[in-house]
Structure 1
């Protein structure tokens, strides 16, 4: 079976059991995302993060390949992550793994969307693959 050609990869991640202190800290999330872009071989162009009152952060890192974004709910230990890249240079799955590790997520539901699959009639479609991961046992990464 041949590999499907795609313009981009879009990862939509539901991260649970995350460290609430990290999820409430816009500066720390910015640091994590900027490093995640490096880990994922992406070229950072800009970033913006906003801390809500009383809690929560929304933010985005614009990369040459597209973006990394987040919305957090520290009181629930939950983060909604979005990593989208175009081209062949970036490694978005490495960025996702890095963010989940730094957020100390215990669980992740991940959807990988292959976007920009060209059809014969000059239209485009996408394909979705979804999986779940238990990331840390007993809350510390050890069995």
Structure 2
């Protein structure tokens, strides 16, 4: 059974999906909706993407979720101030975007002492690339 699309479509990725984990961030930054919204807008700019709309929600007693709708897809930021932790998701399509630059900016802006970045190609990939991707993801999840 194949887990990749079959057909005459060219074997090309359509975009890049970055999963960014930020650790040991200052609590005051993670519970500040205005600061997070500004970081979100700047991250969209750094990714060379087109910001269409943003929305955020401040949870009680703490935590913020902020989303940016991009012409090229989206950026989401979810904070857990009580753990000093932020989960970021950046998906951009198009050859002009640079989501890794947005990730680097967010690591610096939120003063993370540790971070993990996983970058995945999105779209139709060659069977060889798809197999390597599936194997690496399986290994990463199996080692827990």
* TM-score category, normalised to shorter length: 0.7 to 0.9
**Structure with the greater alpha carbon radius of gyration:** 2
Contact map agreement 2:40 2:66 (CA 8 A) in 1: no
Shift of 1:23: 0.6
Which stretches in structure 1 are left out of the alignment for 5+ residues?
Answer: 131-143
Alignment of 1:98-109 (within 5 A): 98-109=105-116
Alignment of 1:57-68 (within 5 A): 57-68=64-75
2:93 corresponds to which residue? 86
In the TM superposition, what whole-angstrom CA distance separates every residue of 1:88-130 from its partner, at most 9, and x where no partner exists?
Answer: 111000001111110001111111111112458xxxx593779
Which protein has greater RCO, CA pairs closer than 8 Å, 6+ apart?
2
**Quick check: which one's helix share is greater?**
2
Which stretches in structure 2 are left out of the alignment for 5+ residues?
Answer: 1-10, 138-144
Q: What stretches of structure 1 move > 3 A for 4+ residues in a row?
A: 125-130
1:16 corresponds to which residue? 23
SS of the aligned residue for 2:13 comes to coil
In the TM superposition, what whole-angstrom CA distance separates every residue of 1:52-92 from its partner, at most 9, and x where no partner exists?
Answer: 00000011011111111011100110000000001111100
2:77 corresponds to which residue? 70
Q: State yes or no: 1:31 paired with 2:25.
A: no
Q: CA RMSD of the aligned region, Å?
A: 2.0
In structure 2, how many angstroms separate the alpha carbons of the residues matched to 1:15 and 1:118? Answer: 29
Shift of 1:5: 2.9
- Size of the aligned set, in residue pairs, is 123
1:47 corresponds to which residue? 54
1:138 corresponds to which residue? none
1:141 corresponds to which residue? none
Under a length normalisation based on structure 2, what TM-score does the superposition of the two structures give?
0.79
Q: State yes or no: 1:5 paired with 2:12.
A: yes
**Quick check: which one's strand share is greater?**
1
